[in-house]
Amino acid sequence: MSLAFLCPGQASQKVGMGHDLFQETELGKSYFDAANRIMGVDIQDIIFNGPEEKLKQTQYTQPAIYVVSVIIGKLLKEKGVKPTCAAGHSLGEYSALALAGAFDFETGLALVKVRAEGMQNAGTTQAGTMAAVIGLDDDKVREVCKGFGDGIVVAANFNAKGQVVISGEVEAVRTIMPQMKDAGAIKVVELNVSGAFHSPLMTPAKEALIDKLASIQINHCEIPVYANVSASPVTSADDIRQSLIDQLENPVRWHESVSQMVNDGISSAVEVGPGRVLQGLSRRIDRSLNMNGVESLEQIVNFNHV
């Protein structure tokens, strides 16, 4: 049976996640200790003890989820679970690439640190926000955004059919929200985020990421990773590098990625990391996909994939 590792992105974090992995596994302890060293702050304390408001800051959220997801994925692989492919939602793409062997844990975390700090800073210098548009198809959301002439607003996450997130300047997003309702959306809700992710407002974050990506070794993947920007599998270093650069300013094509995996023969998937966001989306995308989640040591021990 073909299995995909799917790694969650920002908003899946929770205070206390991964504490059992740190306390009870050598790999967990080793990776969490490395994370403190690479981050230059006590990221363990922020993850295990919060406060939640601090963990929700982009500069900490993204590294925190990456650390926990990669530990879980590595422990599953040690147990003999062999994924056929992988993908990750936004930040989760870095976790997926680490688990696919594109780079080691430490290199990936150093990359995520640069990305997270760049995105946090971009959100501070160019105030932006995001909103979920429910009940409108992808093309209609694109059309309304394209016809909007009063500021920057774009479609940022195509999460599932009828579930799209838009992103842009604060006033532009708030102004277009009623227009989305007029176009037929069932509901439009502004999200509690620190910036306009996956939009042109993230351009300032790109330069530092380009420099960092140019300075590291990226390996040919052991398994294909479905890239957010193309919804297609990538394995080569050049394609991975370009996908990660393009991802900052372009939409996450999530439901296309999952649908493409199913078309390519994937029959089951596991959400590798905290939360259940991707499990919820997969039910909306394709109910034929047998999807589970693993976010604790107990679930790793009991995981049984035949």
For the annotated catalytic residues, the residue numbers are 90, 198
**Alpha carbon 96 to its chain's center:** 9
Cβ neighbour number for residue 233 with a 10 Å cutoff: 19
d(CA 94, CA 262): 21
The whole-angstrom separation of Cα 22 and Cα 33 is 9
Separation CA 184–CA 220 (nearest Å): 44
Cβ count near 18 (within 10 Å): 27
3-state secondary structure of 162: coil
Q: Quick one: which of 209, 196, 52 has its CA closest to 125?
A: 196
Give the full edge-to-edge strand order of the sheet including 3-7.
233-234, 225-226, 85-88, 3-7, 268-272, 290-294
C-alpha to C-alpha distance for 151 and 172, rounded to whole angstroms: 5
Take residue 128 and report the two structure tokens written for it: 């932006």
Euclidean distance between CA atoms 112 and 291, whole angstroms: 26
Give the distance from CA 252 to its chain's centroid: 9
Quote the CA–CA distance of 173 and 169 in Å, as a whole number.
Answer: 6
User: Given its phi and psi angles, is residue 274 left (phi above 0), alpha (psi -120 to 50 degrees) or beta?
Assistant: beta
